[in-house]
Amino acid sequence: MSDLIDADLPFLTDLRRGLHAHPELGFEEERTSAIVANLLEEAGLEVHRGLGGTGVVGTLRCGNGPRSIGLRADMDALAMPETADRPWKSTVPGKMHACGHDGHTTLLLGAARALAKTRNFSGTVHFIFQPAEEGRGGAKRMVEDGLFRLFPCDAVYGLHNMPGLDPDEMAVVEGPQLASSDSWRVTFRGTGTHGAKPHLGRDPITAAGAFLSALQTIPGRVVDPLQPAVVSACSVQAGDPKALNVIPDLVEIGGTARAYSPEVRDQLKAEIGRLAQGTAQMFAIAADYTYIRRIPPVINHPDTTQRALGAARDVFGEKVRTAFPPSTAGDDFAYFAGEAPGCYVWLGNGPAVDGALHHNTAYDFNDAAIGPGVRFWVRLVERELSGEAAHD
């Protein structure tokens, strides 16, 4: 198997760089999904196109094993420019693969190609190529379109590259991996007036300042200190910089809230609203509050974590980490893991070159991780669908 994967690396490397050069945003992955579907069909898989818009599912069956698993890769890019100069730099202005989804797609295609040739397993594998992970709701839409009804899974697995870990290193950890990702909006409605006569109006900007300062009392003084939580204001819109003698009627504030537990998630929703309404009352103005639940947290299931850990140890040996800090970023893989026991693993991407981390304009997937990543996916399928013990 190792020789087979090694022989495919030049093709996979060219594929990854071609995907990087032609990034597509969520639900716009027409070129990418066509490449994925064509390569899966060429490898002999059953292919379902168009699930969740531009999603693709390839199915490979072998033997009579009753177990069925899903492996997921995300395909979308981000709406941001690429600043680093490399031969496979984005050819699309304002779009780039700044999170390594080009690599994730390549790894899963590499595993499908290898497993289609060796067929060293007994059961069913669904290779799930998801659109629109970057905040546009691709996983939720695939589930709503019948992903697990059409392709039942006893377990589902996700993988993400991680700078700071070596390309031949992997972290597989039970429990929380990524936080819930929710959005909130507060509009303070005052009464505009001349900046020189504030007593004739109701100033929403002063109220907004008090509210913004008070926000950090939620994670700092309300949430249990042993429970991680993040509340951030990320947008403030008020007044006109060309009219600096006018106190406006409105201040619009928006931000994000993150947590790992449903209880803390509910607490954040309630507390942001309580502060908004309390601040409005204190300044004798009105407040509108909206909280949008977007993505649940990713929590690795004990059983699937042990199964992934066994495969990772077969491939990475002593370079498998079983302790690794969770991320406060979000990933809608959570919707898949809500339908079947799930595990989300971290594959090393090497050092952060020039400080370039995920969502940086100079970020790039490390091609040295292609071989190890493909080997992990292949070994996971072989172990999961062979009757080997789940626990070492």
Residues with a known catalytic role? 76, 133
Other C-beta atoms closer than 10 Å to the C-beta of 254 total 17
How far CA 298 is from CA of 81, 144, 293, 318, 341, in Å, comes to 29, 19, 14, 25, 11
Specify the amino acid at residue 252: E
318 annotated to a ligand binding site: no
Map residue 295 onto helix, strand or coil: strand
| Residue 86, number of CB atoms within 10 A of its CB | 12
**99 labelled binding-site residue:** yes
For residue 295, give every residue at least 6 positions away whose Cβ sits within 8 Å of its Cβ, in sequence order, or none.
180, 181, 182, 330, 331, 332, 334, 335
Q: How many CB atoms lie within 10 A of CB 230?
A: 17
382 is in an annotated binding site: no
| Cα distance between residue 137 and residue 2, in whole Å | 36
Cβ–Cβ < 8 Å for 115, 125: yes
Q: Are 259 and 229 a contacting pair, CB within 8 Å?
A: yes
Element (H, E) at 15: helix 2-21
359 is in an annotated binding site: yes
Instruction: At 117, list the tokens.
Output: 């040739």
**Cα–Cα distances in angstroms (integers) from residue 367 to residues 8, 18, 21, 93, 363, in the given order:** 13, 12, 14, 23, 13
β-strands 298-300, 175-178 pairing: antiparallel
CA distances from 377 to 41, 103, 277 (A): 19, 13, 50
Only one residue has tokens 């590499």, namely 110
Q: Is 225 helix (H, G, I), strand (E, B) or coil?
A: coil
The helix (run of H) or strand (run of E) holding residue 277 is: helix 262-282
Bridge partner list, 24? none
Residue numbers in the known binding site are 99, 101, 134, 160, 359
Residue numbers in the known binding site for Mn(2+) are 99, 101, 134, 160, 359
